[in-house]
Amino acid sequence: MADVRKKIVLAYSGGLDTSVILKWLQEQYDADIITFTADLGQGEEVEPARAKAQAMGVKSIYIEDLREVFARDYVFPMFRANAVYEGEYLLGTSIARPLIARRLVEIAQAEGADAISHGATGKGNDQVRFELGMYALAPELKTIAPWREWDLTSRETLMDYAKLHNIPIDYAKAGKKSPYSMDANLLHISYEGGGLEDPNWEPEEDMWRWSLSPEKAPDQPQYLEFTYQKGDIVAIDGKAMAPHEVMIFLNKIGGEHGIGRLDLVENRYVGMKSRGCYETPAGTIMLKAHRAIESLTLDREVAHLKDELMPRYAALIYNGYWWSPEREMLQAMIDQSQAYVNGKVRVKLYKGSVMVVGRQSEQSLFDAHIATFEDDRGAYNQKDAEGFIRLNGLRLRIAASKGRKMT
């Protein structure tokens, strides 16, 4: 019988951690490793990962530009919901994981692999997000999480392992790595660890990579006009753009105006609190503008229902349940609500702030003849308000008449 080796698909960045994982998997599992590297708009070249993987004997190497599918099929659908976790976080890391999980599964199935591996630690949310996605998409595949198995516990031990096994690493660069654990894609860049582990410590200015401080932003505001179709931005200042082009453009412009910085303490799904800083220029602008076009075009009860359900939807994404029936059910409702969310929104960017200064739509539910403080020529009978108030106050009047007093 021919010798059959295991095949493992590894989410591979080419950095120190995943390079060590690659070698460790080869040794521990006597396996053929297939690497997958995704360009999600992190701003760094991904092609060098190919040479590193080849140098370590990898034969099947996948390097893919997924910026378009990431923006179109994941970020934009999420922003139709105005999703924000715990009132502040725009889910930049969370929304990237279901796409990576899906491609890992697809590659594993195409290659006939036995398992999938990732570099997420046993303390974080990403292990949950990856593995819940894999359970939903391909429960027959095994998941290998080296950080939950090996005894390598620090950057120093990783570098020692890399030197011992002649792993091709730029040791000078690895030794001068930022003190922060960072994750970047088209939607955001995040910073954790280092001095940020003290919630009362203000990060130094040079930590931020995408944005100017508001104090150093231009003294003149910049105006942008967004064109919406079914809740999605399809053009900026009249120029048609694909979703990923919208985000690239807004990250640049927003960063120049000091927009999108966030410092928060969040509750991880695994139970601990974590302090992190985020830069989300495009997302900050998109959220503000989308709420503005919805304010003009959505029915009141639809808008309020969306706001009530949004925290649940955001938590599903944060906790790793993108590939779940309840998220898909909510997404269908959200997408249906966007049928008339068409029109234009004008915003002003100025020193870290995004101000909506105009909105218009052919599907607008705003009726100036009714809303006016001037003579409405009978469009609204103000006397009707008396009965409306009396009926809505009926239960309160009854309770008061029975001696029930409000404290």
Tens place of pLDDT per residue across the chain (407 aa): 344 579 999 999 998 899 999 999 999 999 999 999 999 999 888 999 999 999 999 999 999 999 999 999 999 999 999 999 999 999 999 999 999 999 999 999 999 999 999 999 999 999 999 999 999 999 999 999 999 999 998 888 999 999 999 988 776 565 556 788 899 999 999 999 999 999 999 999 999 999 999 999 999 999 999 999 999 999 999 999 999 999 999 999 999 999 999 999 999 999 999 999 999 999 999 999 999 999 999 999 999 999 999 999 999 999 999 999 999 999 999 999 999 999 999 999 999 999 999 999 999 999 998 888 998 888 999 999 999 999 999 999 999 999 998 88
Predicted TM-score (pTM) of this structure: 0.94
Active site residues: 17, 97, 126, 181
Residue from 44, 337, 339 nearest 182 by CA: 44
In whole angstroms, give the CA distance from residue 263 to residue 211.
14
Per the document, the length of the chain is: 407
Please check whether residue 309 is in contact with residue 330, taking contact to mean a CB–CB distance below 8 angstroms: yes
- For 287, the token pair is 């959220």
- The conformational region for residue 320 under phi > 0 = left, psi -120 to 50 = alpha, else beta, is left
In whole angstroms, give the CA distance from residue 210 to residue 203.
15
- Identify the CATH class of 184-360: alpha beta
DSSP H or E segment with residue 6: strand 6-11
Each domain of the chain, given as residue ranges in start order, spans 6-66+93-177, 184-360
DSSP H or E segment with residue 263: strand 261-267
In whole angstroms, give the CA distance from residue 175 to residue 383.
75
Vertex 219 angle, CA 218 and 225, to 5°: 70
CATH 3.40.50.620 matches 6-66+93-177: yes
Residue ranges of the alpha helices (H) in 1-113?
A: 16-29, 48-55, 67-70, 76-80, 97-111
Q: What are phi and psi of 86, to 5 degrees?
A: 50, 35
- For 237, the token pair is 């200042």
